[in-house]
A = this chain, B = another copy of it.
Amino acid sequence: MECGLLFSAGKDSSLSALLLENFYDVKLVTAHFGITDDWQYARDTAEALGFPFERIQLSDGIATDVTARMREDGFPRSGIQSVHEAALEAAAAEYDVVADGTRRDDRVPTISRAVAQSLEDRYGVDYIAPLSGFGRGAIDRLVEEHLIVESGASETVQKGDYETELRARIESRWGRDAVEEIFPDHEQTRVIGRT
């Protein structure tokens, strides 16, 4: 059975792919807005991990709305949550099984049991969050054992997810200071292969 797994080239979605690979035909799906070509980093990581890749383009209106909300909030949380849900819905329109890398201790994005059930009912899909039963320590140890990760400032380590594009959109609308204010933590990690 094919499973469309939302993929950012980060640790959580990469580990999720490994957890599901013996149970589904996993396809790594990167949602993007067409603002930059950063989705190519996700494609490269997908290839390095040995999975087929697809990108799904979300409407530019969503990027406009959520960047405005992030700017107003002063932090990205609620905007990221909206984009993540939109990405899940776009994947659910294409796949019978959709998955993501949300984990037990995540604060955002987070998919409650009610949101999961609603997605499943509205689209007739299974929604799977393979890391939602894993805590931080267990995930760190599994990542260490199974994945090769590079980390550094967000300028040098590019992931392939929509967050990079939203930063770019915020910079073009309100300048570099707005990006710094909304995303104070610059540390990024990207998976580049399996151990």
Contact = CB atoms under 8 A, between A and B. Distances in A.
Contacts of A130: 19, 130, 133-134
A133 B129 contact: yes
Interface in A52-78: none
A50 interface: no
A37 B137 CA distance: 37
Contact of A128 (B22, B97, B138): B138
A141 B1 contact: yes
Interface stretch (A40-48, A85-93, A112-120, A162-170): A112-120
Contacts of A145: 23
A87 to B, nearest CB: 17
B135 A133 contact: no
A168 to B, nearest CB: 31
A116 B135 contact: yes
Nearest to A101: B133
B22 A22 contact: yes
A126 B132 contact: no
A120 B23 CA distance: 28
A104 interface: yes
Contacts of A116: 104, 135
A116 to B, nearest CB: 7
Contacts of A97: 138
A9 interface: no
Interface of A: 1, 19, 22-23, 97, 102, 104-105, 113, 116-117, 120, 126-135, 137-138, 141-142, 145-146
19 contacts: A1-B141, A19-B23, A22-B22, A23-B146, A97-B138, A102-B133, A105-B113, A120-B135, A120-B137, A126-B137, A127-B138, A128-B133, A128-B135, A128-B138, A129-B133, A130-B133, A131-B133, A132-B132, A132-B133
